[in-house]
């Protein structure tokens, strides 16, 4: 694929990279809520069926993220080092690897879907519809694997808006498809969950087609597809997995620790469990800013480290961290001010509203700590320091969050307030340890791109990063 006029390099500033990522994540969250709302108008069991199936599918998406995470960081570093050919090789290998992995997992899900659902011990009345959804969407999950991989490649080149546009288009098509198959206007058959599964798969297929076209026009230089057939890309795969597996390990550790904590909360009663679900859904909109800043910073750090501009990388991370802390704290305060009104949208239960409002108030302490982790861990990964965050994450998530949730929430009877204190302790401990790690600058020796000495900052970069003393 040749370098065409339309692949003009994107201007790499934090704001230019971050706002499309923010919109993209926001759309994912908003459309997920729209799906649930639309299905709830059809049948409550349909909502539960899709929810159960999505628990399996979400785990599969995390597994596809193994390759995508490594792809994003490696390509950013190679672009920074001006090694476009190596970056394109990584892109080709990652697409091929996730295609094979995706097809394999899709076949396994399709065949073993009944066994998986039985193992989850779901109610018999949900089995049929859950199975249909899991087999259709899961059977085509390799499409999502390719979308994640190509999006990672495009974002790493700085074109974050392209992924945002495709996400918007996919979600819009999905909502339209859901409407047609759930409510049956214009003579369309009312297919319920089956229709939602079909709509999801079709919209993703169209989204994949769009991402392939964008890849063709955006990526600089030739895409060396023939490279795959000359020899087994052992080194490229090794680098991808060296980043991807630890990154996935951290996500798995987080998800499993949350399952353990949810088990504790379930023993506190329905009010506590429902309050947790509502509160964490609302908190997603608060942490959204830090997530977007973290991902945008990751691209910049990767390119700076690849270009051996360590001072620029160091200062960029610290500036991004300050922005994330400021924004997340401000958003937590705003949401806390209107928390009772927000909870009233979801429920009329005053116990849930009062408890949830207290938890949102505690979020003012929790969210700045989370901002540390979202920005610093992304920066450490981008610089090649992928193992340290995993080791600390596992120890803190289980040793602090889980243990303290039990001690404070169950043993001392503080309930969800105790759990939220445990969450805050975990986020702040990890965050401060990550800051110490970043300041140690051990990551300077961990780049995946060969380097000799640090390149000097340009005049433009000196203006953007005036502070060079740490």
Q: Which string of b and e fits 315-351 if b means at least 16 CB within 10 Å? A: bbbbbbbebbbebbbebbeebbeebeebbeeeeebee
pTM for this predicted structure? 0.76
pLDDT of residue 449: 67
Q: Hey, what are 40's tokens?
A: 């709830």
- Check: CB of residue 128 under 8 Å from CB of residue 278: no
At 431, give phi and psi (nearest 5°).
Answer: -60, -45
pLDDT of residue 183: 83
pLDDT of residue 222: 63
Q: Is 118 exposed, middle or buried (0-12, 13-18, 19+ CB in 10 A)?
A: exposed
The per-residue pLDDT string of the chain (470 residues; one tens digit each, 9 = 90 and over) reads 334 334 444 456 788 888 888 888 887 766 656 666 677 667 667 766 776 677 678 778 777 777 887 888 888 888 888 888 888 888 888 898 889 989 999 999 999 988 888 876 677 777 888 888 889 988 998 998 899 899 888 888 888 888 889 988 988 898 899 888 888 888 888 888 888 889 889 999 999 999 999 988 887 656 666 666 667 777 778 888 888 788 777 878 887 888 788 788 878 887 887 788 788 878 888 888 898 899 889 889 988 998 889 999 999 999 999 999 999 999 999 999 999 998 887 778 888 889 999 999 999 999 999 999 999 999 999 898 988 999 999 999 999 999 999 999 999 999 999 999 999 999 999 999 999 999 999 999 887 765 544 445 555 545 554 444 33
Q: Mind giving me the DSSP string for 85-145? A: HHHHHHHHHHHHHHHHHHHHHHHHHHHHHHHHHHHTT--HHHHHHHHHHHHHHHHTHHHHH
- Check: CB of residue 181 under 8 Å from CB of residue 94: no
All structural domains of the chain with their residue ranges: 11-231, 243-447
Q: How many CB atoms lie within 10 A of CB 206?
A: 16
Residue spans of alpha helices (H) in 219-233: 227-230
Residue spans of alpha helices (H) in 347-446: 350-383, 387-396, 403-404, 416-440
* Rounded Cα–Cα distance for residues 425 and 429 (Å): 6
């Amino acid at each position: 694929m040749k370098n065409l006029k339309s692949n003009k390099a994107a201007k790499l500033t934090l704001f230019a990279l971050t706002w499309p990522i923010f919109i993209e994540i926001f759309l994912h969250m908003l459309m997920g809520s729209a799906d649930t709302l639309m299905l709830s108008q059809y049948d409550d069991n349909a909502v539960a069926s899709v929810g159960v199936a999505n628990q399996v599918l979400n785990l599969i998406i995390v597994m596809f993220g193994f390759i995508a995470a490594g792809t994003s960081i490696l390509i950013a570093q190679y672009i920074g080092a001006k090694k476009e050919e190596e970056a394109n090789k990584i892109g080709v290998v990652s697409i091929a690897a996730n295609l094979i992995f995706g097809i394999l997992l899709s076949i396994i899900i399709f065949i073993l879907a009944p066994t998986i659902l039985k193992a989850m011990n779901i109610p018999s009345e949900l089995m049929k519809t859950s199975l249909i959804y899991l087999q259709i969407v899961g059977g085509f999950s390799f499409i999502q694997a390719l979308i994640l991989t190509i999006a990672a490649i495009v974002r790493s080149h700085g074109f974050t808006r392209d992924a945002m546009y495709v996400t918007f288009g996919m979600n819009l098509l999905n909502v339209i498809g859901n409407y047609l198959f759930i409510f049956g206007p214009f003579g369309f058959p009312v297919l319920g969950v089956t229709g939602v599964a079909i709509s999801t798969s079709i919209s993703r297929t169209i989204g994949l087609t769009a991402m392939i076209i964008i890849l063709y026009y955006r990526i600089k230089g030739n895409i060396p597809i023939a490279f795959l057939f000359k020899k087994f890309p052992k080194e490229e795969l090794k680098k991808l997995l060296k980043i991807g597996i630890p990154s996935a390990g951290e996500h798995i550790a987080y998800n499993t620790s949350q399952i353990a904590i949810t088990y504790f909360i379930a023993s506190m009663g329905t009010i506590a469990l429902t309050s947790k679900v509502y509160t964490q859904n609302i908190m997603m909109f608060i942490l959204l800013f830090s997530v977007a800043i973290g991902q945008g910073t990751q691209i910049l750090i990767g390119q700076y480290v690849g270009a051996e501009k360590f001072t620029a990388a160091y200062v960029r991370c610290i500036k991004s961290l300050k922005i994330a802390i400021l924004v997340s704290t401000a958003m937590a305060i705003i949401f806390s001010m209107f928390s009772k009104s927000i909870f009233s949208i979801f429920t009329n239960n005053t116990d849930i509203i009062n408890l949830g409002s207290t938890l949102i108030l505690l979020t003012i302490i929790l969210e700045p700590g989370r901002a540390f982790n979202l920005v610093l861990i992304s920066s450490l990964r981008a610089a090649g320091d992928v193992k340290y965050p995993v080791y600390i994450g596992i120890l803190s998530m289980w040793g602090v969050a889980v243990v303290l949730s039990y001690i404070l929430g169950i043993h001392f009877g503080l309930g969800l307030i105790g759990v939220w204190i445990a969450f805050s302790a975990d986020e702040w401990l990890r965050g401060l340890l990550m800051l110490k790690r970043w300041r140690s600058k051990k990551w300077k020796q961990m780049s995946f791109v060969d380097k000799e000495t640090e390149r000097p900052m340009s005049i433009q970069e000196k203006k953007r990063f005036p502070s060079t003393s740490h």
